[in-house]
Chains A and B, each alone.
Chain A
Amino acid sequence: MKEGIAIAAPAARIDIRGIACPLTWVRTRIALERLRPGDLLEVLLREGEPLENVPRTAAEEGHRVVALDRLPGAAGDWRLRLERGAEGEGSPWP
């Protein structure tokens, strides 16, 4: 999760900086649900509750946190990249 590592372009991007819990995770979950397993989702989020909860919940539900970086020039804003997990046994996915 260091800057400078080449990461494939995300299949989708969402900006959840203007919304609060639980919609931060709801929006992220819906965006992941619309992707295929292995696709990348880029999420712009604020520090505090979103930064603490969204990557943790994504990992708990079987997705992979690929990168988490501060956005340059925007205090308190972060960029999260998630890889959509596979469906299957034990997965909470429909």
Chain B
Amino acid sequence: MALTDAEVARYARQLILPGLGEAGQERLRAARVRVVGGGPATGPAIAYLAEAGIGTLLIDDPDPVGAGDGVGFLYHSTDIGRPRGVAAAEAVRAATGLVQAELPRPGARPTGVLVSAGSPEVSRAVADEARLLGLPHVVAEVDGQGGAVTVVPPGAPCYACAVRPGIGADPTPAGAATVGALAALELVLLLAGAASEPGGRRIEVFRGAPLTRASVRQPGCACGASKASPP
């Protein structure tokens, strides 16, 4: 279905990006993105995904909103203590009527996943689940003033193959904003069919300078043997 006048006005500047166009925006509207994790990048990532016009956001984050959750991106000070997923879904619904935001429910099959978990183990488990379902996914890791985003299109080397040790610094709001927005942008490009590179990659942002590496499958990794099933 063609975009409505309201959608064209809302997404005007995004619509004229090379490679996106009306068809790409329609793909974003049809997309259902599951956002997983209690990491500090979740708020900025959800704000970006909603602004980009992802049709449905399934926000999977039961942890309570804390004082350091980037008030001003998505949460209000009055949200402190409420489940992040509930507060975030309400914020998205209040900001735009063009995006559905809800908690995950049985039968709501996502078409893409953004992982920003508080621990590498949880990130790895969620990324592996997405890979086995054949879903494009990105993993955001905040590390000090920056961090890393791992981009995994279907069939690409998995997150475990691409991950590298970081600095291990405490997350900062600046790092959360940078990594959250970058992760959301990478997923938007994948879902719109506008990604400049078809393969997987890892983008590390430290001291303000991004460094991109194409992901390489590690010898013997299970991701090279299993066949992902498309959604």
Interface residues of A (CB under 8 A from B): 22-23, 25-27, 29-30, 33-34, 92-94
Question: Which residue of chain B lies nearest to A28 when distances are taken between CB atoms in the complex?
Answer: B16
Q: How large is the interface on B (under 10, 10 to 19, 20 to 34, 35 or more residues)?
A: 10 to 19
Contact between A94 and B15 (Cβ–Cβ < 8 Å)? no
Distance in angstroms between the alpha carbons of A26 and B16 in the assembled complex:
6
Distance in angstroms between the alpha carbons of A23 and B15 in the assembled complex:
10
Contact between A94 and B16 (Cβ–Cβ < 8 Å)? no
Given contacts A22-B16, A26-B8, 14 further A-B contacts (CB under 8 A): A22-B12, A22-B13, A23-B8, A23-B12, A25-B16, A27-B8, A29-B16, A30-B21, A33-B21, A34-B2, A94-B19, A94-B20, A94-B23, A94-B24
Contact residues, B84-119 vs A (CB, 8 A): none
List chain B residues, Cβ under 8 A from A27.
Answer: 8
> A7: shortest Cβ distance to chain B, in Å?
26
Contact between B21 and A93 (Cβ–Cβ < 8 Å)? yes
Query: Most chain-B Cβ atoms within 10 A of its Cβ — which of A23, A27, A93, A94?
Result: A94
Q: Which of B9, B13, B22, B194 contacts A33 (CB 8 A)?
A: B22
> A94: shortest Cβ distance to chain B, in Å?
5
Contact between B3 and A30 (Cβ–Cβ < 8 Å)? yes
List chain B residues, Cβ under 8 A from A29.
Answer: 15-16, 21
List chain B residues, Cβ under 8 A from A30.
Answer: 3, 8, 15, 21-22
Distance in angstroms between the alpha carbons of A30 and B7 in the assembled complex:
12
Distance in angstroms between the alpha carbons of A94 and B15 in the assembled complex:
11
Contact between B12 and A33 (Cβ–Cβ < 8 Å)? no
Question: Which residue of chain A lies nearest to B9 when distances are taken between CB atoms in the complex?
Answer: A23
> A14: shortest Cβ distance to chain B, in Å?
12
Q: Which of A25, A26, A33, A94 contacts B193 (CB 8 A)?
A: A94
List chain A residues, Cβ under 8 A from B20.
Answer: 94
List chain A residues, Cβ under 8 A from B15.
Answer: 26, 29-30
Contact residues, B1-51 vs A (CB, 8 A): 2-3, 8-9, 12-13, 15-16, 18-24
> A89: shortest Cβ distance to chain B, in Å?
13
- Report if A92-B19 is in contact (Cβ < 8 Å); known contacts: A30-B3, A30-B8: yes
> A9: shortest Cβ distance to chain B, in Å?
22
